[in-house]
């Protein structure tokens, strides 16, 4: 068990300056379309908002999304895909697309904090990956602020 408590980690996250974080082109995803009865989305995955994850050394968190053609038009609005993260250990992250067996890296970096923004140019699968690059347990605080409508996503693990 790491010596840090949840309260001390929360204090660390509040003390980090995200204003100096590296801004980069990144993508995020929204949830499934609304249910026919006007209720919550059918099969919706919670993507917007905060997510706190403990990652063992070398482990990762991945957000896998399928961007529909309709989201490409919507993505022209400012801030359509945005988020930020902070950690107490170094995080190696990337944004990548899967095209069959091929993987294309769209952006990557390593750090304790980061601001994420990406506007896709075509529909299809896009993934965001955050990997613990240290030898200690990392406490990752991730927030997805804005995503395009109609995009479906899933978290792994």
- Count how many domains the chain has: 1
Report the C-alpha gap between 148 and 104 in whole angstroms.
21
- The answer to whether residue 46 sits within a structural domain is yes
Residue 157, preceding peptide bond in cis (omega within 30° of 0): yes
Q: What is the pLDDT of residues 85-122, one digit of tens each?
A: 999 999 999 989 877 788 889 889 999 999 888 877 77
Report the C-alpha gap between 21 and 5 in whole angstroms.
24
- The answer to whether residue 1 sits within a structural domain is no
Q: What is the pLDDT of residues 124-134, one digit of tens each?
A: 888 899 999 99
CATH number at residue 99: 2.60.120.380
Name the residue range of residue 148's domain: 6-156
Question: In which region does residue 100 sit, left (phi positive, over 0), alpha (psi from -120 to 50) or beta (all else)?
Answer: left
Contact (CB, 8 A) for 54 and 139: yes
Confidence of residue 17 (pLDDT cuts 50, 70, 90): very low
What's the pTM value of the predicted model, to 2 decimals? 0.69
């Amino acid at each position: 068990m790491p010596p840090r408590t949840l309260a001390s980690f929360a204090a660390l996250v509040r003390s980090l300056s995200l204003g100096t974080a590296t801004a980069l082109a990144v993508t995020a995803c929204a949830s499934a379309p609304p249910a026919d009865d006007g209720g919550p989305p059918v099969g919706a995955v919670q993507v917007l908002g905060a997510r706190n994850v403990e990652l063992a050394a070398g482990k990762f968190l991945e957000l896998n999304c399928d961007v529909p053609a309709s989201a490409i038009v919507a993505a022209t609005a400012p801030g359509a895909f945005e988020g930020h993260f902070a950690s107490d250990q170094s995080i190696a992250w990337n944004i990548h697309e899967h095209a069959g067996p091929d993987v294309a890296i769209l952006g990557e970096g390593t750090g304790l904090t980061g601001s994420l923004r990406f506007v896709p140019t075509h529909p299809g699968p896009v993934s965001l990956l955050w990997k613990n690059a240290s030898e200690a347990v990392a406490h990752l605080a991730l927030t997805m602020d804005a995503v395009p409508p109609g995009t479906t996503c899933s978290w792994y693990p």
